[in-house]
Amino acid sequence: MGSHKLEFILHLIEVLAAIVIATFTVLIFLLPTGSKFPQWTWIVLGVAAFVVFGIGARVLFQMLRPMTLIRSYVEPLDANLDFSPKFRVELRNDSGHCLDVTTSKWIEGQPLVHNMPHKTWQVFRDGTWTPSPVGEMSIHVHPGELVRTWMQFKGMNQNQVENARTNKWLGRLEVSASGKRFKLKL
């Protein structure tokens, strides 16, 4: 299901739940003094409120963290590459909007060969990572698309990087997506 269809369905459910809540709220005020609603009406009202708050929380979460970490991995050592082994990080745009992802910042952790990932962003389109073979400093990402970046750590071989990745002690990566910054522990 496409991102726009899912967004539409979620908004439709939220609107319907809000209508149910509003209807019961009006009925509570119109109910004669001393009368009680049947128990099933409170259950319906509770479910509708849960749906509205759940969808609202999802939207709020997407606003605060528009990208989801899909995976991180270590590419095998390649003697033909200047920078090897590469540590890759793949993210997905879950914001529901187009994002401009810019050069990230390495905040803390194992020292990098460069101070920060620089011109390393690629987007997965039409079955390939573009721009290839090198990335860009900033990249435009449509909803649902994957992006990736890479970095190389000073004095660490493939096994050391993989061990550090598995134990999550490589460090923290800060990513900027359309001006919103968020951090990933890697």
**Domain holding 96: CATH number?**
2.60.40
| Tokens at 156, concatenated | 């660490």
Check whether residue 108 and residue 76 sit in a common domain: yes
Residue 30: how many CB atoms within 10 A of its CB? 8
Residue at token pair 């573009």: 130
Stated as kind and residue range, the H or E segment containing 165 is helix 158-166
Domain around 55: 3-64
pLDDT in tens, 89-109: 999 998 878 999 987 778 878
| Tokens at 161, concatenated | 């990087």
Check whether residue 118 and residue 165 sit in a common domain: yes
pTM of this structure: 0.65
Q: Which amino acid is at 98?
A: C
Residue 82 exposed, middle or buried by CB count within 10 Å (0-12, 13-18, 19+):
exposed
Provide the pLDDT confidence category of residue 115 given band limits of 50, 70 and 90: low
